[in-house]
């Protein structure tokens, strides 16, 4: 499956605007660089998994909303998982992503 980064950027912008937040506010909440969000929202920059997770947390949603256009798991269950992922480094996030892929593929 190939990701459409312009669509992802549009979904991020849509969520940010729905919350009436400025790009700078989201960048600060997500701890990402100045003007980085603008570049992501326009589809000019490909965000890492870590950045997608940070933006989802900053915008109080799940990465699903950005990747497929809908948040399948709103609520406390997602927040508990997101809280566990936040302190992980890039290698650990990659491993967690691989495990999630495995679980999805095996419909456990």
Q: What is the rounded CA–CA span in Å between residue 96 and residue 102? A: 10
For 18, the 3-state DSSP assignment is: helix
* Verdict on whether the full-model pTM lies above 0.95: no
Domain annotation for the chain: domains and CATH numbers? 5-106 (1.10.260.40)
H or E element, residue 70? none
Task: Summarize pLDDT for 39-96 with one digit per residue, the tens.
Answer: 999 999 999 989 999 999 999 888 888 887 655 545 556 667 777 887 888 888 889 8
Tokens 């990465």 belong to 63
Q: Of 32, 41, 36, nearest to 13 (Cα)?
A: 41
């Amino acid at each position: 499956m190939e990701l459409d980064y312009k669509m992802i950027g549009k979904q991020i912008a849509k969520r940010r605007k729905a919350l009436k937040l400025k790009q700078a506010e989201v960048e600060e909440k997500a701890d990402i660089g100045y003007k980085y969000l603008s570049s992501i929202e326009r589809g000019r920059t490909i965000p890492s998994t870590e950045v997608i997770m940070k933006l989802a947390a900053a915008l109080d949603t799940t990465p699903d909303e950005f990747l497929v256009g809908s948040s399948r798991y709103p609520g406390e269950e997602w927040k508990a998982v997101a809280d566990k992922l936040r302190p992980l480094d890039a290698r650990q996030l990659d491993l967690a992503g691989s495990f999630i892929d495995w679980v999805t593929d095996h419909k456990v």
